[in-house]
Amino acid sequence: MGETTDSEAELQFPHANIVAARAIRGVLESSLGPLSHDTLIESRAGKTEREPGEPETRVDTVSSDGATILEELPVEHPMGPIIRRLVAPERPGTTDVEGELVPDGIATTVVLLGALLDEGERLLEMGVHPTTIEDGYSAALDCVEQTMETLSRPLESFDDPTAAAEMVARSAMTGNDVGNARETWASGAVEAARQIGMPDEETLAIRQIRSGSIDDSRLVFGTVLDRNDICDERMPHRVTDANVLVISGFKRGKANDGKTGGLQDPDFQQDGERLVIESPDEIDAFDDVFATRREEVVAGLVEAGVDVVVTRTGINDAYQELLVEHGIVGIRGVNRLKLAQLASATGATPVVDPTDVTPADLGHAGLVEQQTIDKRQGRRKRRRMVVFDECSDPASVTFLLRGVHGQLGAQAATEIRKAVAAVATAMGETTGPAGVLPGGGATELELADSLRDAALEADGREQLAVQAFADATDRFVSTLARNAGMDTLTTLTSLREATTNATNGTAPGLVFPAGEIDDVLEAGLLDPTAVRLRCYQHAVDVASLVLRVDDALDATFSEEPTQPGEAIYDEHAENHQAYLDEQDDTIWHE
């Protein structure tokens, strides 16, 4: 065995990083596919957080959604946060942001990442340099992008584009069909995507109601104020062809000038000031000023044609009397997000000063109706909500989910958001390519064939990396089969045979729950091209990063410089060097 150079001796085998990524893959692997399994993630409050005698608190998460599992998974290894951050967008932590972006394809990305790292580890043991593996994976990704471009079909190319879009929505909810409502929600997801495009927290709202059946859930072309009701029982509870005024803003500190977020009288007494009243007549004079102002404000609303006024803050009793007198509906105390959703749905321009309202500021709703819904705990009266429906060309819509609440409701909301986002992505509402690809592993089989052909044309040792990439895509299909209880070797062999003998226009793949090999296009298994491509891009990015990192240092600040041997993974580097010492046929000995 020849002598190794300094550069060869410094190469360190990134085994610990690969093991960490493989562990995360092992957790998410069972959540892949339509016959996925739920994962239980247990979290317990520490003893220091409990009062004396208080029982231990358990906060368990049960989910088969890859993004949820990855977010809740307690990972202490340094590579864990890196994988989580690169694979999925950062979440706001403990902040509960309603309508935040729900990423799709997380389980697919992590499973592909694990397969690429398994293959990369095998190549490293053969003596292939990490840079060579990275170059080979990059070349393979180029081949993947070209093949996907060839396989991708726009929704308009199908005989029934709407039915194809519903297939995309159903595929996005595969494995998480809450209440067997996937068929019903798919049509609503398509309608929502066509109306608002790519959803966000303002354009797509989801409201959950305990009462009713899950089959009664529907898409509202407008918004639903599920925590607010009409402020006076004498006001109309149903208004058609309604002009809607939205008063935004907020009360600044202790001072209220009557122009900040509601219909209230100004506060003349501010910090450091006081009113001096010398006679009862002066009190009446002040009251007359308030009364005159209120009448002028409401008269302005009537002149502008306001039917419904919705405020950020309050509507005092005197204003309520005037609104009742003129038949105007008042709704108060609506939070900022719901107020923004209402403005987007109705087309209203939020105003701050109620004395300066014009018809151009008003939005429109075909129907505004107060409905009685859930029974309040410990109370006789049932909770109420106000529905703004039949808005013309709304920029915000609402999914009204009935019969769900708690963790089940949260999971249903997540799946609906994923479905709407998937359809919007397939329609080209994102920066990625529009179109759809066949699911059920059919695309992966085509990619594997293209990669093996490309490997024959690759230069030098990159050929090994491209071939390894093809094997990794096969592992993805094997995982789908294994989660469904099928024999992986037999299934993969049969799929390859079916792909080879496939006629033009068909895409053999795994069709579940039947567990058969059939045409996935006929079965309605379609995935957005951009989502599938993003899975491969992220998997390659993270795999390349993990393979490049060959050491980690303790970042604790110290006055003393880091000494040799203080690397966190120094033991693994020594093991790899021992391996090289025992071999004489690796690249490092040429």
Per-residue pLDDT for the chain (590 aa), expressed as one digit of tens each?
344 444 443 434 467 778 877 877 877 777 777 666 667 766 644 444 555 555 555 666 666 666 667 776 777 777 777 776 665 554 433 334 444 455 667 888 888 998 999 999 899 888 888 899 999 999 999 999 999 999 999 999 999 999 999 999 988 887 666 656 778 889 999 999 999 999 988 999 999 888 888 888 899 999 999 989 999 999 999 999 999 999 997 655 544 555 667 888 876 555 555 656 666 666 666 667 788 889 999 999 999 999 999 999 889 999 999 999 999 999 999 999 999 999 999 999 999 889 889 999 999 999 999 998 866 555 556 788 999 999 999 999 999 988 887 777 877 888 898 899 999 999 999 888 999 999 888 999 999 999 999 999 888 889 999 999 999 999 888 988 888 888 888 988 988 888 888 877 788 888 877 778 888 888 889 999 999 999 999 899 989 988 887 665 555 545 454 455 555 545 555 665 666 677 666 655 55
Which of 1.10.3720.10, 1.10.560.10, 1.20.810.10, 3.50.50.100 is the CATH number of 13-45+54-153+438-548?
1.10.560.10
| Positions of E strands within 217-334 | 218-220, 223-225, 238-247, 308-311, 329-331
523 three-state secondary structure: helix
| Positions of E strands within 344-447 | 363-375, 382-389, 397-402, 436-438
Count CB-CB contacts under 10 A for residue 175. Answer: 21
**Environment class of 18 (CB within 10 Å of its CB; exposed 0-12, middle 13-18, buried 19+):** buried
CA dist 139 and 36 (Å) reads 32
Q: Which residue has the tokens 């429109």?
A: 364
CA dist 96 and 343 (Å) reads 22
CATH code given to domain 222-393: 3.50.7.10
Q: How far is residue 373 from each of residues 61, 161, 210, 227, measured CA to CA in Å? A: 28, 36, 8, 11
Tell me the pTM.
0.79
- Select from 115, 169, 245, 184 the least CA-distant residue to 542: 115
Contacts of 588 (CB under 8 A, 6+ apart): 4, 8, 11, 127, 580
CA dist 495 and 401 (Å) reads 39
Tokens of residue 481, six digits = 């089969």
- Select from 100, 60, 62 the least CA-distant residue to 408: 62
Q: Are strands 397-402 and 382-389 parallel, antiparallel or unpaired?
A: unpaired
Domain segments of the chain: what residues? Answer: 13-45+54-153+438-548, 222-393
Q: Which residue has the tokens 């009243």?
A: 277
- Select from 166, 372, 353 the least CA-distant residue to 247: 353
Which backbone phi and psi does 21 adopt, to 5 degrees? -65, -35
Alpha-helical segments (H) within 406-441 = 406-426
Contacts of 576 (CB under 8 A, 6+ apart): 11, 12, 13, 15
CA dist 374 and 383 (Å) reads 5
Element (H, E) at 82: helix 79-87
Element (H, E) at 526: strand 526-528
Q: How far is residue 458 from each of residues 140, 143, 254, 451, measured CA to CA in Å? A: 10, 11, 72, 10
